[in-house]
Structure formats: structure tokens, C-alpha cells
Structure 1
Amino acid sequence: MYERFIDDRKCEFSIASGKENAVSAIRILEQDNFAGVLAIVDADFCRLEGSLPSSSNLLLTDEHDLEMMLIKSLALDKLLSERGSEYKINKFGQDIRLTLLERGTRIGYLRWVSWKANISLKFEGLSFSKFIDKSTLVIDTGQLIKTVKDNSRKSGLKEQDIQKSIETLEKTAPDSWQLCCGHDIICILSIGLSKVWGSWNTNEVKPDTLERELRLAYEDSYFHSTQLYQLIQQWEINNKPYQVLSPGN
């Protein structure tokens, strides 16, 4: 999505295919005194861990990842106005964005535990229906842990120990926008639009489809209001004559 805001006449845009690749590239280029290079990566748990980048050429997303920036913006409201059922949303009677955040923290804590303990839990390809109530979107934490453990083929892990680790992290009361993974939130949104907030067939509101629609709904003005945008502007000031943003941005 970033390429929409970049002046391709003055800035060459490359996808690093992974955060570690981007960080490594910046490190190598800085060692070689290569000027005018900038990388943008997902914050992930950096802010929660207090491990912010030391390089001024490495910027983080405002929230946990780019998808969370989309969810926080009015792009979500635009999607809901198109995809959601006004009757069902009114009947639900709760703020959908806050509901998504609250549900998503269950998975966010487990991801954080995996990251901190370096136990490499596998979240790709999860069947959310195994641990989420489609009528309320409430997540069964115990079933979530079991599902992820099975998906990761980590039979030696003790679910009780993981639960205790989650409870320890809960006491820190982290910022949900830094904790939740955007992909998880969009998966929950997908389930919600098939029953709680809409009546779509699950194939019509697949997570990949919704993510694409959120990106399309994300307006330039939303990006202009982010800290990331301001940091890119400051980078341009500090690194003249190099330019990243297009004139319209």
C-alpha cells in the first residue's frame, strides 16, 4: 500500500519480503555509508518490549502492523457501511472496532508469549472456527491454545504453562493496538460479517478479500494523520535532497 504515497520518479520502492531482511539491509547499507535509504517495517511487539530501532532510517508502523493501521482508520467504517447489515449492527449494540480489539487480544497475548519465549508457535492456517463462538465472537482461550499448539505440532508444550504466561502478560495491561495482529482481527471480522454483523457467505468475505477492500478504502488523508507519515516527512528534512513522498502527499 505504501507505494501509493511514494514519488516513483524520485524514490525507488522495494519490498524486502520480511522484516528481518529490511533490518539487515539497512544495517549493511549504513555500514557502507549508503545515503538516502529508508525502511518501514511492522512494529510487531517492539513498543511493548521497549526495543525501538536505533537507526533513524528504520521506521515503524503506528500500530502493531499495517493491517492494524487500516483497522484503526475510517477505512473500517467504510467497509462496514458496504458489507455490514445495518439491522444486525444496531442489534449487536456494541462498538465493532472495540469488539474486534477485545477479541483479538486473546490471540495477541498468545503470539506475544510465543515471541518472548521463542517457542515458534505456528499461527498460519489456523481454523478460527475451532476456538471462536460464531454467534458472539467470544474466543475460548483454552481451545485457542490447544488449536495453535496442535497447528504447531508442539505436543511437548504444556497448555497450563502457556496460560500462566498469558496471565502474566495480561497484568502489564498493554496497548491493544500494539498487541493485536491485524491478520487475526481481519479473520474475526470475516466471521462477524458472515453472521453477527452481516449475512455474507464465508467465501464472499474471506480475510484476503476484506484486507484488499480495507486497503482500497484507505484514503490519503488517513495516512496524513499518522505518526508514520510525520516521521517520513522529518526523514526527508534530515536527508535532503532525497525525497520519498509524492508531491500530493
Structure 2
Amino acid sequence: MAKFKSLRETDRGQRRIARSVILAHKVPKTIHKFLVLVEGIDDLPIYYKFFNIDVVDIKDCNGCEHVNTVHETIKNETNFKFLSILDSDFKRLDGIEPFDTNVFYTDYHDSELMITEYNQVWKKVLNSVSPSTAYVDFRKQAKVELYNVSFIKWFNMHRKLSFVFEGLDILNLCPGKAISEAMALQYFKPSKNGLHTFPNNSFKAFKEEHTKPDIDQLTNGHDLITRIASIFRHRLKKQISDKDLRDCFCQNFTEEEAKRTALYRSLQSWCKVNKIEILV
């Protein structure tokens, strides 16, 4: 279970990250480049496909919970030209608007979900992992198997409950079948700074209110890739880790796919208005 941190400790930590980003950008190699903030270091191989790296410096913010503070700190304490890209998470389901004009969100739940959506990418990944297998698409099956886990995560974030999944083995739990709600809730534990008992009645009402959420906004992309790795393992007997499978998706997601995203079009429109040339 994650160690509890007070709001003051969290804020201080986020501002330290912001200032470390500022210092890292100020070195001679990058100070004259346009700064792009992304959530985590794993996002870098994806966003390198969007930007001209000769004129752009992409920095990660060590996780989604830090981006808002890093963005605001850089905005208030520097004159950098910059923008931020965040995972949508459940924001499109909840209808939350960006907090600044130079903040952009992924098309779907997160960057991993965004890169898995393209059929050409999937075909190349399947051929790489299992070249002798006839074309078959595991992506929808994986999303369905994860539906209850994803829905509980949405409820948790929507209500700011601070519960955490402990010991949930997405790779091996219920292979080939949907993880049931009852099964998923067994691994859903309270954290120190939240409720001690899961609010079942509120969850039931939430489900009744949201009967058909967009599964591409609902599904966590890291969970999806792990579950696809599970299908490879249990159905095709192909041993591949979720990390290696994610790397395979990243490698096969090209600049051409990047240009087809809604994110790219939003960046393109913003760049045109601001007369900035930073995209591939």
C-alpha cells in the first residue's frame, strides 16, 4: 500500500519536480527548444513520433498527479514556450475540460490505448509476436475481460475514494474470461487517507447511471496491454511480458499513425494559431 502523504508534502514534491524540469530544460542543449511536458518516461517513445525533436525538448513529469502543478509552476515562474499532454484517463467520460489553452489530452484513456487502436499497428504486433498465427484481433476481447476492473477504477477516481488494487494479477487471473465484479472487488483495498469500507450502494447507483460508457475511454491502456499479453500466453502459448509487448506497440506506432490521431490535429490547430512549427 502506498505511503500516505499530506497535501503539503505532495505539493512540495510536485514543485520539486517542476523545478527539476525547469533546470533540466535550461541547459545549453535544450534552452532554445520548445518544451513539451508529458506524464511519464514511458510516454517519450510515443510522443517522439509527433514532434520534430530538432526543435522540441520533451520532458516527463514523473506521473500524472504531477503534471498540473508542473504546468502551473512553469507557467508562473518562467517565460518558456511550452505545452502539456496528459492522458485523458476518465476525463472524457466525466466531461472535464482542459485547465489551460496549451493543455492537450490523448484521444482515448491514455497513450497506450491510443497506440493500440490502429489496425495496421496491431497486424504488425501480431506478426512480430506470433508470425505463424493467422490474423486474429484480441483487443476487444481484452477490453471486455477488463470491463469490471476498469469500471471500478472509474468509480474510484470519480468519487475520489483513494482505494487501490492490491495483488490483482491481470496477466493470469481468469484467463480467457471476464474478471467478474466480485472477483475484482476482492483486490480493491482502502488506503490510509480514504474510506475504510467500499460504498456498495453508491457504486450500484453509479452503474445504473452509466450503463454504456465508451470502452475506449474506460479501459486503462497498461491494463489492456497486460491482458493482451495474457491472451498471447494462455491462448497461443507465446511468452511475452507486458513491458516487451508495450515496446512492440510503441515501435510499430509510426509517424503516420500519429498524424491520424485527434491529438495531432488539435496540436496542429494550436500550432497554426500560435505560429509555431514543432510537429513532424
TM-score, length basis structure 2: 0.73
- 1:207 alignment partner AA: D
- SS of 1:38's equivalent? strand
Deviation at 1:121, TM superposition (A): 2.1
Residue aligning to 2:230 = 191
1:76 maps onto 2:115 in alignment? no
Stretch deviating more after TM superposition (155-164 or 180-189): 155-164
Which residue identity does 1:46 align to in structure 2? K
Structure-2 change in CA distance of 1:55 and 1:159 (3 Å)? closer
The answer on whether the counterparts of 1:23 and 1:58 sit within 8 Å (CA) in structure 2 is no
TM superposition shift of 1:129: 6.0
What is the aligned partner in structure 2 of residue 145 from structure 1?
185
Which letter maps to 1:9?
Answer: D
- Correspondence list, 1:68-107, <5 A: 68-73=113-118, 74-84=120-130, 95-107=137-149
Please tell me the root mean square deviation across aligned C-alpha atoms, in Å: 2.8
Query: For residues 90-239 of structure 1, what are the structure 2 equivalents within 5 Å?
Result: 95-123=137-165, 126-128=168-170, 132-134=173-175, 136-149=176-189, 156-158=196-198, 160-161=200-201, 164=204, 167-168=207-208, 170-171=210-211, 173-196=212-235, 198-201=236-239, 205-239=240-274
Q: Secondary structure at the match of 1:14?
A: strand
1:44–1:64 contact (8 Å) kept in structure 2: yes
Structure 2: distance between partners of 1:98 and 1:107? 15
Higher strand share: 2
SS where residue 51 of structure 1 aligns?
A: coil
SS of the aligned residue for 2:104 comes to: strand
Q: Partner letter of residue 192 of structure 1? A: I
How far does the alpha carbon of each residue in 1:191-225 deviate from its partner, in whole angstroms, 9 at most, with x for none? 100122x1123xxx111111111101111111110
The two structures have a TM-score, normalised by structure 1, of 0.81
* Contact 1:100 1:188 (C-alpha < 8 Å) held by counterparts: yes
Q: How many residues align?
A: 233
The answer to which structure has the higher helix fraction is 1
The 8 Å contact of residues 50 and 259 in structure 2, kept in 1 or not, is answered as no
The structure-2 alpha-carbon separation of the partners of 1:170 and 1:102, relative to structure 1 and needing over 3 Å to count, comes to farther
Cα deviation for residue 229 of structure 1 reads: 0.8
Match of 1:244 in 2: 278
Contact 1:61–1:228 (8 Å) recurs in 2: yes
Native 8 Å contact 2:145 2:177 kept in 1: yes
Deviation (angstroms), 1:228: 0.7
What percent of counterpart residues are identical? 22
**Alpha carbons 1:70, 1:76 under 8 Å: kept:** no
| SS of equivalent to 1:12 | strand
SS of match in other structure, 2:187: helix
The residue that corresponds to 2:36 in the other structure is none
In the superposition, relative to structure 1, how do residues 158 and 88 fare at CA in structure 2: closer, same or farther (>3 Å)?
Answer: farther
User: In the alignment, is the contact (CA less than 8 A) between 2:121 and 2:253 conserved in 1?
Assistant: yes
C-alpha distance 5-125 of structure 1, shift in aligned 2 (>3 A): farther
Structure 1 residue runs of 5 or longer lacking an equivalent are: none
CA contact (8 A) 2:109 2:216 kept: yes
Q: AA paired with 1:79? A: V
Q: Summarize deviations over 1:38-92 as a string: whole Å, max 9, x none.
A: 11110111111111204220000001000001111232222122224766876xx
Gap change, CA 1:200 and 1:33, over 3 Å in 2: closer
